[in-house]
Structure 1
């Protein structure tokens, strides 16, 4: 996926152009930092049209994992054991991130009287087609990704845990929290993303209508 920050974002924060050595590493570091942020938040932060996901309902509600949701175009009940997938009718999107499935059975276009086998064929799993994301990555996310990459890019040494500095005849070298070649996410990075509301906390479970 496309990195959530650019080399221009790094240069803006450094206040200078990247050196040739920094330029050679910057894209990989930005990609690594972006992957960590996406994994932690559970969000992609990029515009995606016609995304198809398979989710379970919880008490008649399907929570969409990626926000902001732009539109929902289709909800399909997934059949098992050879039963066909059935388009759902009567579903409602709340305009934010929840799809509500009616408990009345027109919701999945089946006869009013089902056998137990027919219930078992539709265990409450749905295939949803929707669009989500924004044209621009949120500024807070750019800031976290950029500083994660910069910590590694500007480290005095590529040996993890070692920092040092030389000023004229004076120099020092200590074992600290240097990250070496690996991009890492700190508690401050996580806290910033959580305070901004980017951490996805809700999960999906199965609901059965009878």
Structure 2
């Protein structure tokens, strides 16, 4: 996996250059932060590529899971119970991530009777589409750097630090054996949700045969 930001991105934001040991640790933290974001959003933020996937219809549409979608090139209704695959015409794409398959059968002729009465629903579609980013979005780079910066600025090399001050007396304890790691906070998740990086679930992806 390629990190979604680089060491120099963090250095620029913190206004300093890391030493050799620090740079090595930052590189690891960048990978960790990138993995957390990709896992939460279910997006790879990789360069444009073409994919063929199986999706179940829901309310007349299939929602494409990877973003941003740049093109939809083929929609095929997957055959079942002896019915062959049917290349669909008349489908519509909203320019974002939704393919409308609700009315394609009305513009096609000589369809098998089982398809006409939809007795074998839920329908599964094989969709070929292109998706991906020419560059990692600036908001994602900023979030990765913020996650790493928070970790680098932690007051202790140990997580679970608890401190308390009473008058002139203060003390601090820490849980042993726990290294500071990057974390995706509730605010981070809200940003990813609001920015649309985490797609809404509307259809089910099934395994390609």
TM class by shorter chain equals 0.7 to 0.9
Q: Which moved more, 1:137-146 or 1:80-89?
A: 80-89
Question: 1:100 Cα shift?
Answer: 1.2
Which residue of the partner structure matches residue 180 of structure 1? 179
The two structures, once aligned, show a CA RMSD in angstroms of 3.2
Question: 1:9 Cα shift?
Answer: 0.9
What are structure 1's unaligned runs of at least 5 residues? Answer: 165-170
TM-score, normalising length: structure 1: 0.77
Q: 1:33 touches 1:148 (CA, 8 Å); kept in 2?
A: yes
Which residue of the partner structure matches residue 128 of structure 1? 127
1:93 aligns with 2:93: yes
Gap change, CA 1:49 and 1:104, over 3 Å in 2:
closer
- Trace 1:33-182 onto structure 2 (pairs within 5 A): 33-80=33-80, 84-105=84-105, 111-114=111-114, 119-120=119-120, 123-162=122-161, 173=172, 175=174, 180-182=179-181
Question: 1:136 Cα shift?
Answer: 1.7
Deviation digits for residues 54-94 of structure 1 (CA, Å, limit 9, x no counterpart) = 21111221111222211011112223456543322222212
What are structure 2's unaligned runs of at least 5 residues? Answer: 164-169
Q: Which moved more, 1:10-19 or 1:78-87?
A: 78-87
Q: Which moved more, 1:138-147 or 1:36-45?
A: 36-45
Q: In the aligned structure 2, how far is the partner of 1:32 from the partner of 1:91?
A: 40
Which residue of the partner structure matches residue 166 of structure 2? none
Q: Counterpart of 1:114 in 2: which secondary structure?
A: helix
Number of equivalent positions = 197
Deviation digits for residues 146-196 of structure 1 (CA, Å, limit 9, x no counterpart) = 1112223343433222389xxxxxx964559xx834221112212222332
Q: Counterpart of 2:95 in 1: which secondary structure?
A: coil
TM-score, normalising length: structure 2: 0.77
